[in-house]
Structure 1
Amino acid sequence: MKGLDIGSDRVDELAATSAILLYGREERSAVYGTVHPVLQGKGGRATIGAGRPIERKALFECLRELAEHAAAPAEFLPETVLSVSQHAVMWWCRPAMRRVFFECPEIGRRSAVVPHPGLVFRAASNGFSVFALQEACRPTPESKLHEPPYFNTWDLGKICIGSAQVPRRVDVASIAGWESGFFESAFTHPNHGGKRVSHRNGEFAFWKEMLDGKFGEQFPKEVLVPMNLTLAELIAGKQGV
C-alpha cells in the first residue's frame, strides 16, 4: 500500500541506519531521547551503538522527512472511488454484464456473461471484501449494503482469494487489478456462514439460472440479502469490517 514504497527504492533493499530511544516514567510520556547508530555486523546482524542526546532541530527534521515518505502522494481520484485511507481503498462498480467462471461439482465447469448488481469493493491490508447494492447509481453514506451473491465469499463480504491473482499493493492505481482478480477467478463453492442469495431453491439453482440466461441483462435484485450495514458504517470500520 502507499507509504511502503519510498521513491523508486524497494522496501526489502532498505537497511536500518539509526535508532531513537525514548525515556520516561510510567505515568508520563517521553521526556528524554537519544539517537543511536545501527551497526551492521557479519551475517546481517545489526547492533545499536552508543547514543547521544537528540537535538531538537534534528528531531523535527527527521519527523518531517518521515511524514513526507509516509503520506500518500496527491493523485486524481476517479468518481468510482468512495474512500481512501492509509489501510484501505474502497470503490464501487455500476451494474454491468460481466463474465463469470464456475468450477464445482454441482454446476460443473461453466462460464457465461451474466448481469451483476452494483457492487462495493474494499481492498485493505487485512483482506479483500465485496458488497452488493440495490441502487444503480453511485452510493451515498446512507446506502444499505447487501450480501454479495457469489460463491467464495464469507460473512461480512470477505472474499476467499484462494489462487486468485491480486495486486500486492492497496492503492487507487491497483483497483483494476483487484477487480480482475475477483471476476477472472473461478467460483468453486459457497462458503460457510449466512445466506448469500434469497432463492427458493438455493444458491446452486440461482447460479444455474443465471448461467442459462434466465434473467437477461438485468440482475434480479429481489434475491439480494440485506446486511445490517450502511456504506458509512463500512467506511468507519463497524463490526470489524
Structure 2
Amino acid sequence: MPSRKAISVQAQVQLSSSKSFELREALLVYSGGSAHHVSGPNTFVTKHSVRSSESGAPSLGPGAPIGIEDILELIKELRGVVPVEFLPDNVLVRTQESIVWWTPSAIRPMFYAVEKGVELKQLSGKQFPQPPLVFRAQVGSLDVRALEINERPTPKANLFRAPYWNVNDQGSVCLGSTKVPREASVESIAKWEKAFFQSEFTHSNSAKKLTEHPGGFMGLWKSLVGKKTFPVQHLASAGQTLGQFIQS
C-alpha cells in the first residue's frame, strides 16, 4: 500500500458553471515490469481520500484498489448516463456520445439555395427518390453515408458517398445555421432527418466526386425529378465499411 504523501496541486480548469468544486479524492496509477514478461495486468490503480493539512496543502489518505463500481461511478459523474431507451430496428449503434441509424430509400423533397442559379431554382422543392442512408448524430454534428442495398446493413456492408451538397469527403454535414436537436437519442432521430432534408443545400463541400452519374451532381438530380427509384449504380464508393464508419 502506498504511503501517505503531501502533494502540491496546481491546475487551471475552465467550467461553464457557477458551482464551486473541492478536491476530495485522487487516483494513482502504478505501472511496472515489462509487458513482454508479465502474464497478468501490468498496471493497477488506487483511490485515495484527500485531506487538507494545517498548512493548507492537500495530502493523500491511505489508498485502496479501485473497483468496477468506482469506475462506473466516475463515468457517471463525468459523462452522465445513457438513458434507458427501446431501440427500434433502424438503430444500428447507441453509445454515450452518438447514435447511428439507417433509413430505407424514400421519396423526399430537397431544397437548394435558389440564388445560386436557375438550375437550382428549378430543382428546389421538387420530390426526389433518395438512396438508403446511414446517419450518425452527435451533439452538434451529423454524418451521412449511402447504402447500395435497401435493407438493414451489417458491419461488413460497403458504404457510399451521400450524393448531397453540404457533405464533405468524410461524410460530415456542414450544418451552418441549421437548427438541429440538442441531443442524440432515439427520440431525436426523426428531427435530425428533418433538419437535414428541410435545410437548404447551399454548396459543394467535397474534393472528390459525389456521384458516378455521367452528368455529375446536377445531371443526377435533374434526371431524378419525379422518379420513384434512386439509381444506386450511380453511387460513388466511400472506401469504407459500416464497421469502419462506426469506429471512425
**How does the TM-score come out when normalised to structure 2?**
0.73
Percentage of pairs with the same residue: 32
Secondary structure of the equivalent of 1:207?
A: helix
Q: 2: distance between equivalents of 1:164 and 1:126? A: 10
Aligned length: 214
The residue number in structure 2 matching 1:33 is 48
Secondary structure of the equivalent of 2:125?
A: strand
The residue number in structure 1 matching 2:86 is 76
Q: 2: distance between equivalents of 1:59 and 1:18? A: 20
Secondary structure of the equivalent of 2:188?
A: helix
The residue number in structure 2 matching 1:165 is 179
Describe the shift of the 1:35–1:191 C-alpha distance in structure 2 as closer, same or farther (beyond 3 A). Answer: same
Instruction: Give the conservation status (yes or no) of the 8 Å contact 1:22–1:34.
Output: no
The alignment status of 1:183 with 2:188, answered yes or no, reads no
Q: CA RMSD in A?
A: 3.1
Instruction: Give the conservation status (yes or no) of the 8 Å contact 1:35–1:54.
Output: no
The residue number in structure 1 matching 2:215 is 201
Tell me which amino acid in the other structure corresponds to 2:113.
E
Tell me which amino acid in the other structure corresponds to 2:112.
F
Residue-by-residue CA offset, 1:107-163 (whole Å, 9 max, x unaligned) = 333211211010000113583110111111111222110000111110021111111
The residue number in structure 2 matching 1:234 is 245
Describe the shift of the 1:162–1:126 C-alpha distance in structure 2 as closer, same or farther (beyond 3 A). Answer: closer
Tell me which amino acid in the other structure corresponds to 2:61.
P
Tell me which amino acid in the other structure corresponds to 1:53.
G
The residue number in structure 1 matching 2:230 is 219
Instruction: Give the conservation status (yes or no) of the 8 Å contact 2:140–2:180.
Output: no
The residue number in structure 2 matching 1:53 is 61
Tell me which amino acid in the other structure corresponds to 1:150.
Y
The alignment status of 1:93 with 2:103, answered yes or no, reads yes
Secondary structure of the equivalent of 2:143?
A: strand
Residue-by-residue CA offset, 1:28-49 (whole Å, 9 max, x unaligned) = 7655733258xxxxxxxxxx97
The residue number in structure 2 matching 1:108 is 120
Tell me which amino acid in the other structure corresponds to 2:205.
N
Greater displacement, 55-64 / 168-177: 55-64
Instruction: Give the conservation status (yes or no) of the 8 Å contact 2:140–2:182.
Output: no
Residue-by-residue CA offset, 1:166-190 (whole Å, 9 max, x unaligned) = 1222222221221121111001111
Q: 2: distance between equivalents of 1:114 and 1:135? A: 18
Q: 2: distance between equivalents of 1:66 and 1:159? A: 33
Instruction: Give the conservation status (yes or no) of the 8 Å contact 2:47–2:63.
Output: no
Shift of 1:58: 11
**How does the TM-score come out when normalised to structure 1?**
0.75
In our comparison, the structure showing a higher alpha carbon Rg is 2
Structure with more helix by fraction: 1
The residue number in structure 2 matching 1:3 is none
